[in-house]
Structure 1
Amino acid sequence: MQKYHILWADDEIDLLKPHIIFLNNKGYEVTTVTNGIDALELSNKTTFDIIFLDENMPGLSGLETLVKIKEVKPFVPVVMITKNEEEHIMEEAIGSKIADYLIKPINPNQILMSIKKLLQNKVLVNDKTTSSYRQQFAEISMTLSDKLDYKEWIDIYKKLVHWEIEIDAVGDGSLKEILLSQKSEGNQQFFKTVKTNYEKWINDSSEDKPVFSHTVFRKKIIPSIKQEKTFVLLIDNLRFDQWKVLQPLIAESYKTVSEELYYSILPTTTMYARNAFFAGMMPSEIEKKHPGFYNGDEEDLGKNNMEEELLRDQLKKNGLDIKFSYQKVTNLNQGKALCDGIKNILDNQLNVVVYNFVDMLSHARSDMEVLKELAPDESAYRSITASWFKHSPLQELIQLLSHKKIKLIITTDHGTIRVNKPHKIIGDKTTNSNMRYKVGKNLGFDASNYLMEIKKPESIFLPKTNISDAYVFAGDELFFVYPNNYQKFVQMFKDTFQHGGVSLEEVLIPYIVLEPNR
């Protein structure tokens, strides 16, 4: 065990000798002083791992000593020990960044627990996380070897994300590699499940099937609207793991009532999945109602310009003649304007905001070398998401809504996956540019266990421009690359985040119901 050095200041230190002997026997080195001035002088000269201060010392009080120590040694944990249980003393100590607060009389084990919590917390958490994951590793592996249904895949993915966040926190590289390998295996098995069942799920009239993009609004959101005013925040391209790092930040304003995952339709892109979300219809049904809707490439931003109209039609179709608003935020100024004008829409029964930051981040990652450096992997990607949120108008918006006691639903249209396995494909000039799925005529590609070809798009309610159009979706960590300038594009897009295909991260997406903290 590392040798820790403790400074203990108490004007009755002689009475605490049994405690000091106890700590010595546990391997801790303890230096004692009887007043705040000596404690301050010693702490400036010597490096201590933790400092214990009696609150009621003659001369310089414990609180005064604490403030002066923090000016010079802001990162050294200081524990206040006192007989005084007055609330204002506790509040003042907490406000002065006290690490712990113990009420006399204290026993040696209380002191030991405080030391372990403050100095050995990370080691103890690391050890526990490692042993717990190794235990669950075998359990998850056995589950992955079974034939899982759509509900079981949601449970497995939640477990994998839980361990991803936990292992991130402890920083164990070898454990992270094991988990990434297990998640990769999970994605391969999930792809097979979707490839086998997707057409059946989409065409099944029974209720025993996943909630999809085109049914989530009717099944989940409309019942909420009928009961109370509801604010829907759709953060484009938000993965479940990104939600998990935003959750503790949002918890300051809202508590999570339910945390579900639903299935994005294929392709897992904005022009298909998000339009289906707002229309309550599959893409070919939207195309039938709005001829030419899906002509051209998905990079045409106009493909999502009818969302408000699609939403209005869906509400009307479900018998809801209500006052609602729809807004889209694609930059900082629009986010600020939304916050400034929030009071103008709070009387609506339904408000919907599409927030595009995360989607822009994933696209920008392949365009900007500096962003590649900042987000080399999933861990960094999550970190950037959290950092952005802390300084964004979105956090302010959520705080404003919580003050008005508005029910909040946070969801998305699809996720994204980091790709690193290039797969050659041949298409003509009308073939789309997405790297996780292709649609076109006469597509040429080598067979793979992790490609899903749909020769009859109408079988899964997808539109086609030409009579011979087919779709092909990538699974695993594959991404499509044309033969021309092959190496250049492989180097450009390898280890970037892409969407449109079939993976746990792209398909299983968050649907979160929150209520304001009372």
Structure 2
Amino acid sequence: MNQINILWVDDEIESLKSQIIFLESKGYNVSALTNGYDALEFLKDNIVDVVLLDESMPGITGLETLARIKETNQQVPVVMITKNEAENVMDEAIGSQISDYLIKPVNPNQVLLSLKKIIDNKRLVAEKTTTAYQQQFRTLFMALNDNPNHAEWADIYKKLVYWEMEMSKSDSPEMQEVLQSQKAEANTEFAKYISRHYADWMQPKAKDAPVMSHTLFTEKVVPNLDPSVPNFFILIDNLRYDQWKAIQPIFSESFRLVEEDAFYSILPTSTQYSRNAIFAGMLPVEIEAKFPQEWRNDDEEGGKNLYEEKFMAAQLARLRMDPRFSYTKVVNHTDGQHLVNNMHNLLDYPLNVIVYNFVDMLSHARTEMEVLKELAGDETSYRSITASWFEHSPLHQALKKVADKKINLIIATDHGSVRVKTPVKVIGDKQTTTNLRYKHGRNLNYDPKEVLAFRDPRDAGLPKPNVNSSYIFAREDGYLCYPNNYNYFVNYYRNTFQHGGISLEEVIVPVARMVSK
């Protein structure tokens, strides 16, 4: 352990000599002072890792000393030590951002534990996390090789996300690399699993199919609607499960989590297909048949998600539910401010649908804008920027405005995204779509080992725009590139977040229910 410098300030410091000797025997360097004035002067010229501060001292009190310390050095941790158990003193100390609060008399081990929590917390957590993952590695490996079903796959992915987020606290690049290798292996096996079962799930009377985009509303929203309160169905576009786990604590400041689950996005894992399927309660091939004027294929002109409100109304009518609902779509900051201003009016509706597009805009912008390539360069930073966005977003502001009301929230997404690393060469004609994770066209040429192909799109529940149309989906971390300008596009898109294909990150996505506290 590097030398840790402790400043202990107490007007009865002589009585604490045995405690100081104990801390020094543990490797800490302790400086002792008897009043706040001397402490403030000492801190001007000396580097201190932690201040142990008595609350009741002559001259200036501990609380006054604390305030002055924080004015000049906001980051230094301060532990308040006091005989005073008055709640207002505790509140003021905690409000001044102390790191710990100890009631006299304190024994040496209490002080040592407090120091360890402050100084060694990150190292101890990292060491424990690494050890715990090593113990879980074999369990996860066996689960991957035990022919998991769709529920078990969701469970495997949740565990991988848990360990990925825990390992981000670790300073062990070796173990992080082991985890990434295990995650890559899981994605390889998951792609094989989807290839074997997806067409069966698309059958009208499919057995053992997971909850998917087109069944999400009936399976996960309708049963959780509370007829006695306003319900909010919030769909945050392109939200991976790990991103949900990053913003969940911010939701939990105002709302209590009742249930959390995962469902499977349909293919392609893209807004045009999966989100329309959620609101219509139908597969894309069924939407095209039922709403031929509204459905747009990739190669057709016009917006692809313009009729979600109409699809939602039709689904409610089909389910013979109360037809009254509000629909709010936020695609820019102005829309977001309108949501904030209108939030109280939404309490008059039994069902409120809010579609929030920011995360999708972020992932696409991350491809196009160099600054976002720096900000969201990997999964850890992608989660971080998502949490930062949500904390300061109009959506968070809007929800806080009604947090004191009795409401019911159901939060979901339409699909996730995956960081692509492996280029896959595809040849197609001019009508072939441009998406990097899936393509459809009439004359696709590809290596069948590198993609999942549906020569008849209807086998995948998809429309068939032309007689010879077929779809292909990238697996794992692949991205589909044309031979012309191949090297340029390979380098330009490598390590960007894309969606539309088959990966745990794109397909297995969150749905959660929260209620007012």
TM-score bracket, shorter-length normalisation: over 0.9
**Contact map agreement 1:375 1:384 (CA 8 A) in 2:** yes
Give the 5 Å matches for 1:136-215: 136-203=136-203, 205=205, 208-215=208-215
Partner of 1:280: 281
Partner of 2:366: 365
Question: Structure 1: how far apart are the matches of 2:92 and 2:199?
Answer: 63
**Contact map agreement 1:52 1:79 (CA 8 A) in 2:** yes
Partner of 2:482: 482
Q: Does 1:431 align with 2:419?
A: no
Question: Structure 1: how far apart are the matches of 2:299 and 2:119?
Answer: 53
Partner of 1:122: 122
**How far did 1:202 drift?**
2.3
Distance 1:316 1:292, change over 3 A: closer
Question: Structure 2: how far apart are the matches of 1:299 and 1:79?
Answer: 65
**Contact map agreement 1:271 1:298 (CA 8 A) in 2:** no
Corresponding residue SS for 1:341: helix
**Contact map agreement 1:294 1:463 (CA 8 A) in 2:** no
TM-score, normalising length: structure 1: 0.96
**How far did 1:368 drift?**
1.5
**Contact map agreement 1:264 1:508 (CA 8 A) in 2:** yes
Give the counterpart letter for 1:403 in structure 2.
D
Question: Structure 1: how far apart are the matches of 2:160 and 2:211?
Answer: 21
Give the counterpart letter for 2:411 in structure 1.
I
**How far did 1:459 drift?**
2.0
Give the counterpart letter for 2:34 in structure 1.
T
Give the counterpart letter for 1:27 in structure 2.
G
Q: Does 1:338 align with 2:339?
A: yes
Question: Structure 2: how far apart are the matches of 1:300 and 1:103?
Answer: 70
Give the counterpart letter for 1:180 in structure 2.
Q
The C-alpha deviation readout for 1:246-271, integer Å capped at 9, x for no partner, is 11122111121111000001111111
**How far did 1:277 drift?**
0.2
The worse-fitting range, judged by mean Cα deviation, of 109-118 and 71-80 is 71-80
Partner of 1:57: 57
Corresponding residue SS for 2:169: helix
Partner of 1:68: 68
The C-alpha deviation readout for 1:14-37, integer Å capped at 9, x for no partner, is 222221121121111211112222
Give the counterpart letter for 1:247 in structure 2.
Q
**Contact map agreement 2:125 2:169 (CA 8 A) in 1:** no
Partner of 1:329: 330
Question: Structure 2: how far apart are the matches of 1:394 and 1:132?
Answer: 36
Partner of 2:48: 48
Question: Structure 1: how far apart are the matches of 2:277 and 2:113?
Answer: 54
Partner of 2:9: 9
**How far did 1:171 drift?**
4.5
Question: Structure 2: how far apart are the matches of 1:238 and 1:299?
Answer: 27
Structure 2: gaps (5+ residues) = none
Question: Structure 1: how far apart are the matches of 2:447 and 2:219?
Answer: 40
The worse-fitting range, judged by mean Cα deviation, of 276-285 and 383-392 is 383-392
Corresponding residue SS for 2:396: helix
Give the counterpart letter for 1:221 in structure 2.
V
Question: Structure 1: how far apart are the matches of 2:294 and 2:427?
Answer: 25
Corresponding residue SS for 2:225: helix
**Contact map agreement 1:322 1:349 (CA 8 A) in 2:** no
The worse-fitting range, judged by mean Cα deviation, of 234-243 and 468-477 is 468-477
Partner of 1:492: 492
Corresponding residue SS for 1:51: strand
Give the counterpart letter for 2:325 in structure 1.
F
Give the 5 Å matches for 1:84-483: 84-203=84-203, 205=205, 208-225=208-225, 227-228=227-228, 229-291=230-292, 293-297=294-298, 302-448=303-449, 450-483=450-483
The C-alpha deviation readout for 1:195-221, integer Å capped at 9, x for no partner, is 001111222636632001000101111
The C-alpha deviation readout for 1:420-472, integer Å capped at 9, x for no partner, is 11111111122111111111112111232x41111122223210111221111
Partner of 2:34: 34
**How far did 1:499 drift?**
0.7
Q: Does 1:81 align with 2:74?
A: no
**How far did 1:291 drift?**
2.1
Question: Structure 2: how far apart are the matches of 1:158 and 1:298?
Answer: 36
Question: Structure 2: how far apart are the matches of 1:435 and 1:504?
Answer: 17
Corresponding residue SS for 1:302: coil
Structure 1: gaps (5+ residues) = none
**Contact map agreement 1:238 1:358 (CA 8 A) in 2:** yes
Q: What is the aligned-residue identity percentage? A: 52
**Contact map agreement 1:439 1:472 (CA 8 A) in 2:** yes
Corresponding residue SS for 2:352: strand
- Which consecutive aligned stretches of 4+ in structure 1 deviate over 6 angstroms post-superposition? none
Question: Structure 2: how far apart are the matches of 1:494 and 1:442?
Answer: 26
**How far did 1:294 drift?**
4.5
Corresponding residue SS for 2:448: coil
The worse-fitting range, judged by mean Cα deviation, of 48-57 and 395-404 is 395-404
Aligned length, in residue pairs: 516
Corresponding residue SS for 1:297: coil
RMSD of Structure 2 on Structure 1 (CA): 1.6
**How far did 1:278 drift?**
0.3
The worse-fitting range, judged by mean Cα deviation, of 334-343 and 136-145 is 136-145
The C-alpha deviation readout for 1:325-350, integer Å capped at 9, x for no partner, is 11110000110011101122211010
Distance 1:294 1:489, change over 3 A: farther
TM-score, normalising length: structure 2: 0.97
Distance 1:300 1:101, change over 3 A: farther
Question: Structure 2: how far apart are the matches of 1:41 and 1:198?
Answer: 70
